[in-house]
Structure 1
Amino acid sequence: MAPKQQTVTVAGRKLKLTNLDKVLYPKAGTTKAEVIEYFQTIAPVMLPHVRRRAVTRKRWPDGPGTATDPKDAFFRKNLEDSAPSWVPRLGLQHSDHVNTYPLAEDEAVLAWFGQVAALELHVPQWRFDAAVTPFIPQDQDGEPPVAERRNPDRLVLDLDPGPGTDVTDCAQVARWCRELLDDIGLPSVPVTSGSKGIHLYAALDGSYTSNQVSEVAKELARSLEADHPKNVVSQMKKTARKGKVFIDWSQNNANKTTVAPYSLRGRPQPWVAAPRTWEELEDPDLGQLTFHEVLERVAEGTDPLADFGRYTDPSDADSPAMAESVPKKTEQKTTDIEDALTKYRSMRDAAKTPEPVPDDSPAAREGDPIFVIQEHHATALHYDTRLERDGVLVSWAVPKGPPLEVGGQGLAVQTEDHPIEYAEFEGTIPKDEYGGGEVSIWDSGTVEIEKWEDKKVVFVLHGQPEGGLGGKPRRYALVQTDDKGKDWLIRLMKDQPKQTTVPETQEKTSTHTKSSSRKPKNKPKSEPAPLPDPLPSPMLATMGTAKDLRGEDWIFEAKWDGYRILSAVHHPTGEDNAGTVELRSRNGKDYTTVFPELSELADLAPPDTVLDGEVVALNSAHRPDFGLLQRRGRLTKKREIDRAAERIPVHYMVFDVLHTAEHGDLTDRPYTERRQILRELVTSGKQVQVPEDLGDELDHAMEVSEELKLEGILAKRAQSTYRAGKRSDDWIKIKHDNHADVVIIGWRQGKGGRAKTFGSLLLAIENDDGDLTYAGRVGTGFSDAELTEIRQQLEKITRKTPPVDDVAREDAGDATWVTPKLHAEVKHSGITRDNRLRHPAWSKLRD
């Protein structure tokens, strides 16, 4: 039995230890003394991964407890006032304050962490600037200096099993991740997290920023999701994770942390974030390891992270250098044009492959430079993207093909230069030859090189009318992401060339390099662009919070609580020379006659204009009232509509323009440009308004929204295009309360005053695949009128069986099931671990 209190010397530092016999892990009987001993024993292999990093501690003063009786924990960023004066520390500037973090530089600090029951140590992927000396109060006077962040020295992917999956499913996804990371020269090491999943670490050499690393990790996750949609999800939504493994790429953000390798976890068992070998991940009985098992492994010399990148202090001549993460690669490209195809020839035998293998050095070619993108079905499908420069085709292999959505990006690996003749090559490369597989031309044409630097290439591709690029010019940037010149990102830039059209009389040709030299001409301004028929579906926003706003490229608008309506102004047809207005809801329902007062739009906007906005009804306090709007929206008889229009007039809040006679289709234009055209084109009237946006400051926008008693704001990327009919995270709804869009799947019988209506509604949430999952029940927040009206609607759509299969047994006992047709919105205080809404309250029935 360990003594309850003693003073020890660790790494030359005196530390008072108390309550050493206190049991922190009841199920295993693990005491505080054993926790401190673990930290001391594991220090040699753990410290290299936490040194010089800002350590956030998760503390359990009474231990984590058991699964049935968990104990409270709290995160601690700022260093405790009670910390020993010998603990080294540094300050870090956050947006509006400075935090002082302890530095785990030696065994003494780890021992103190154990003393205060800081079981979990969370650290970022970056380290503090080595040029700043850590502050130690007992050795120095003053305050801790504020240090800068280094670039990250590792990339992390967190594989989190969703409901219905476990750590073995994570192991399979880890193997898929490993293949992609290996392809870009980043060998990885798995770490069973000590909780449920697996972390993957890949060492970096510090050449790239956190934002760059995050983008690479995000693209990796999305690539895996595209390849394995039934097994992998890269979205943050918990409702999308059922039966899938979530790849959390966001922990590469400079503000995020990951539990450190070899840290204990606050679970019922004293599990550890344990580095593992790839062979271990093949074990069908793979599980988490306890600290006893980890100590045994280390004692036997098993440390899969032993050769991983370590901290280098430039002031310490004996300090080991940080291991290079990216293997050295031989230089592939030469600057001498006479030798530009040497590597290409060395990899091919002209007698065995149908590819062009010229004997002569490349010669200059007259005319505009060309490009070709070839779909290549080799070991893995990829798209070879080749640009003409200095007599050769400079080439990149793009696994997912060039992105076609503005702001989209993907991985690209530079390969050897190819001869110009390759631009017309299609055929089968023999299986045993380099690049064996089918090659076909996906698109080709001319290329405008706007910038060609060592690490960045900006260019515009002019492809074929029916080519893979969609028949319109596309501006891309290729950005190098390593110092060897092989790994790149390809991005479809936000600033795109204007859409042009090819005259119908122009003769088409199948010769790739010739047909692409055509220059499409714009339509004469005298020909107004006709209205789209039918009207497009509106672009939809995703529900989110302030944390989902990445970057600074955001403009904020008021979120109106009404009906989403697209409007079109048609040319005059009658003798009064008056234009007509068409109003359509998001699902195509015609509201033209339901809201006759909005016909004034014909006097405020020119013909052939398509607008997007929200129709609202205002209450006596001049605030949007969805209930009033629903009363208007349900009317069908002209006499009732005319009478209601006088008592409850509606207003059309216009926030976007999709088409004009002068500009034609505007959906490919950036949001800010569309807003400028809208302000110049449409004037406000009595029932139609073009509200000003709320600026580019989130806090200000939220304050204004609250003052106006609106339900929230809409955040829109300044350069986002309009993606008709698509839900996009370029538009994010942020509400003052937590809200959820739900589908009603049944009701439970009411009692007392609710005996004739219902006691509660059973709810489901639709995931990204269109599947419904049970989300709990709501029984509060209804008015008497709503109780009666909703029950009447539900009576018409009853069914015998539940529409989802995961309804909690206690909720299904006396349920009456309905066909999931009615959509609604509820307020809630969060999501539980089993994906149920916490404390839901009724908000409204949706259109």
Structure 2
Amino acid sequence: MAGSRKQFRIGGRTLAVSNLDKVLYPETGTTKADVMHYYLAVAEVLLPQLTSRPVTRKRWVDGVVTEKKPGQVFYAKDLEDSAPDWIPTGKIAHKTTTNHYPLAEDEAVLAWFAQVAALELHTPQWRFGANGQPRNPDRLVLDLDPGEGAGLPECAEVAGWCREILEDMGMPAHPVTSGSKGIHLYAALDGKHNSETISQVARELARALEADHPDEVVSSMKRSARAGKVFLDWSQNNSSKTTVSPYSLRGRTRPTVAAPRTWEELAGPDLRHLEYTEVLERVAEGLDPLEPLREQAPDRLATYRSMRDPAKTAEPVPMGRPSTSNAQPIFVIQEHHARRLHWDFRLEHDGVLVSWAVPKGPPLDPELNRLAVQTEDHPLEYATFEGTITKGEYGAGEVSIWDSGTIELEKWREGKEVIAVLHGRPDGGLGGAPRRFALIHAPGMGEDKHWLLKYMKDQPDNASRRPVAPDPLSASFTVADLPSAMLATPGTPADVRLGVQDGETWDYEMKWDGYRIIAGVGGGAVVLASRNGHDYTDLFPPAAELVDLLPDGAILDGELVALDDRGRPDFGLLQAAAKGEVGEVTLRYMVFDILQLGAPGAADASPQLRTPYRQRRALLREVLAEGEHVTVPPAHTGSLAQAEKVSRELGLEGVVAKRADSTYLPGKRGRAWLKLKTQLHQEVVVIGARHGKGGRAGGIGSLLVAVPDESGGLRYAGRVGTGFTAAQLRDIEQVLRRIERKTPPVDDVPEADQSDAWFVTPKLVAEVSLAGRTREGRVRQAVWRGWREDKHPEEVRWEV
């Protein structure tokens, strides 16, 4: 491929790469392709160390420098002009310049770094906040650099002394052999202190060790003082300094890595720097000594749940942690007739609705300032809540939606200031025009939870207001233009009955057994996206008939299914069709929602995200006629029992219950949509295979699977041994052998199941049917149904 360019799809992104056979490490023959493979293979452990940090790259465009091969190396701060426009940036103003650094938020960015021969990735100890401003550091780093006459053994000894001090301070230390000379030590911080304070702590630690071990340790910056000693560099905690990131390659003669290590390894007699191939093996085996430093999000709904009894209040009380998505953030303002009338002002941020109570309501005059009292964070499901909170419960009284819609966030300084433009409903309290508000923290007004809500003098021009959903395009949509799919929560018939008793109205759809697809119609073409943003347009060319059935700018939600000889959805047949393994297959796009309607010749589209579900359904039936390959199955408005009966008669998996007044929340999962299964299907993560016997000798006998628990930790879930054809087993083994590892990825596989098994990295999701779940939490009589390439392991949870 020398000199050529080729397009690749990486994590939903399109990237042009070239010269993959260029040798970047002459001594080992390591090529750009090898570097790219390395960064993609370790993305799972590398990205948590890079996320939200500005990345300075050290680039060797002609390969690393050796005595026999001189080359050019330079540092890059600003994102390259040739970079794709989807790479996000963070801005830092220096004394004389302002730089725009790339942010490595996904694996496609890592691939770009490899494309431009950015072998070393350097970051500071802090991350950007949601407002685009640097936060306080979240880790402390000590750089142990051996002077002339010292080496790794001496660094390891000093690292042990540092560890004792840090652990006495309640800060467990994690070592990284730098891949160059010495060792880096990392310790997690709580983010309460600024870089200057942390630098002072690190400096005092270095000086204390120098005083205790003057013959082994030096804290001075003078190079002349380092001979035979280990220089304990504390200065990299300065906010303007960077350190090579853990898991980054190094620009040495050989492709070494800044490799996280265990303390047992540091104590070993053969300690040395690791090369990238060795790190690949460690990561494949699930070893990440820096896992404790991965950023853990607090449960922001804990206070909300502690104040409400789900058996007594009509409010949504989700039990899981809040989730985030790339969808446009939302707002809701609710009129709340409680003990005292007030308006609840709620903005989506970090997966929750951050909330303030405004006693006199939102101001629409820039001369007015209103008191806003911050309350507990609310779940995103609260954005559609209207009704009565029972007397005796917290916030008892009547709640109605005054206005709701989406927001353009301009600034979010945590605990200090928020500025946002709110795009409400045409008939909402904000008057249908975009409104710019500011929230200013004002503890001087009496309490720390007091803020001021201001209607800004500088308001958006109505003519330039942004739509809340993608514009209808003169050209075709792209996958990136389409919103994420709203998700249903596993539920039970009792959940629906309880809602009906409380006066809620529910409709019921069949749970189709296929791929969830968002479709966009624009410019005489159709684009299809899976629920996790993959382009599925080529999978279903007949969807092009939507161009004749709908005007430009329409966005639909539905399920792509394959029908068997009896006209029933067959998931295995759909998978075979997707892989081209079968001949002619009857495919149908079952449309059940409309998210946007574009009128022919109109200047803008009509978004439907805030329209209640039942009205969206009626609109869908009105505007979308039946096609040869596209259909709108009916929604059942009778009883749940009737809908479940129809589902069983059709041989379907179950039903989806949707509250009639529910709005559409892209990428969000809420209690307004519940999936109720009449047949038991379960998503599982494949973790290994047992060797076959008898007729399956020489191949796979059964698969070992796992399911994450509520905290996300994988737990062994048993074996799947039926439902395969011989050809499927051969294909499955070919797939699994590529991700084989030496040890089980979970620690609770029974010895009997391990004795004749081999294991794989837990990255592939499959679906099985089963008779239930055993008391030990294992699948009962599981039958293979097929791979779920549209699902990620972290999305899997028990559904039975």
* TM-score bracket, shorter-length normalisation: 0.3 to 0.5
Q: TM-score when scaled to structure 1?
A: 0.43
Structure label with greater radius of gyration = 1
Q: TM-score when scaled to structure 2?
A: 0.45
